[in-house]
Structure 1
Amino acid sequence: MYFINPTKGRMDIDKMFEDIMEFVEGDRQSSYKLMVGTDSQPGKSVCFVTAVIIYREGKGARYYYRKFYNKKIPSLKQRIFMEATYSIEVANQLFERLNQTDKKDINIEIHLDVGENGKTRDIIKEVVNMVLGCGFEAQVKPSSYGASKVADKHTKSMANIG
């Protein structure tokens, strides 16, 4: 599994985590949020993009993404749950690494591509409870920009490649 940073290019999860920690060390006085969100776009196969964003509150952010393809998924509900599962998987790996540092106070949020308006409103409670049950905070639209803006940007341009 590798991630892409638009400035620094391709890196594995360990290198990405090192880069996140360098960003955090660059301003120790600031507060940080670590956000993970996944979006998908159906095409010939389903394009999934998981975005990881380290946000220095009020002072900018750095982000990384990974894209991968999966076979067609019959329902929107299944696709949303797969998005959440992929985000939780990455968040767990980052959580393990954070716990080995002195930055255990950095909060990890899972950004879900669901909202009160639209087709996903009926499954908000289920998918949010799944995330909460895994020990992470959940954000939904319009606050879930990690999934609905950052990851979404990279699924749209790449959906029909795979």
Structure 2
Amino acid sequence: MKLSFQNLQEKNMSFEEVFFHIAAFMKLDPKGNYRLMVGTDSQVHRTYTLFITGIVIQQERHGVWACIRKTVVPRRMDHLHERISLELSLTEEIVALFTEEKKNELIDIILPYLYEGASFTMEGHIDIGAGRRNKTSNFVNEMVARMESMGVEPKIKPDAFVASCYANRYTK
């Protein structure tokens, strides 16, 4: 199955096109500090549940390039654990596309400038919070462990803004 991504400028991008845009963004300033972040949010609608996975490459304090992928489940997913688990599975699916080879291609862009402060990190943003009053707090350990097992730095609310803000905007 071919994955399709979009943003305000382009529709129906393949993952290869997304990767090209990320690399091109980093090549504009290879001395930058880059964070590649992937996260998913969902919204239950009347007859379906909409999942939005965001991919964001950020050069700290210098802008971003971003895109989304839409996934529709043709039923209401009212059980929170099922929905959170599928959100994370969709994030994991995209993270897995960034193979060691792909990550090394991105690291090679900044590698000559490491000693001048350039950096690259990859994060998995999970739309859950650890606060006692948060309904998702029971799932934090499970979901964080899943992200860590993929070699990606997990971020939860309030630091998981790709899932809780960027992707959330497109679920309505």
Calculate the TM-score normalised by the size of structure 1.
0.89
Q: Which runs of 4+ in 1 moved over 6 A?
A: none
Q: Distance in 2 between matches of 1:136 and 1:49?
A: 19
Deviations 1:44-93 (A, max 9, x none): 11100000000001211111001120133341011101111110110110
Tell me the SS of whatever aligns to 1:73: coil
After TM superposition, the structure 1 = structure 2 runs for residues 50-61 of structure 1, keeping only pairs within 5 Å, are 50-61=53-64
Q: Distance in 2 between matches of 1:145 and 1:113?
A: 8
Q: Which runs of 5+ in 2 are unaligned?
A: 109-118
- Aligned-residue CA RMSD (Å): 1.6
After TM superposition, the structure 1 = structure 2 runs for residues 83-102 of structure 1, keeping only pairs within 5 Å, are 83-96=87-100, 98-99=102-103, 101=105
1:122 aligned partner:
138
After TM superposition, the structure 1 = structure 2 runs for residues 103-114 of structure 1, keeping only pairs within 5 Å, are 103=107, 106-114=120-128
Cα deviation, residue 99, structure 1: 3.8
**Structure 2 vs 1, CA of residues 102 and 36 (structure 1 numbering), >3 Å: closer, same or farther?**
closer
Work out which of the two has the higher radius of gyration on C-alpha atoms and give 1 or 2: 2
For residue 49 of structure 2, the aligned residue among 46, 63, 68 is 46
Bigger fraction of residues in strand? 1
Tell me the SS of whatever aligns to 1:155: coil
Calculate the TM-score normalised by the size of structure 2.
0.84
Deviations 1:7-66 (A, max 9, x none): 233311110110111000001110111000000001111100000000001211111001
Q: Which runs of 5+ in 1 are unaligned?
A: 157-162
Q: Distance in 2 between matches of 1:109 and 1:143?
A: 10
8 Å CA contact retained: 1:115, 1:142: yes
For residue 144 of structure 1, the aligned residue among 148, 153, 160 is 160
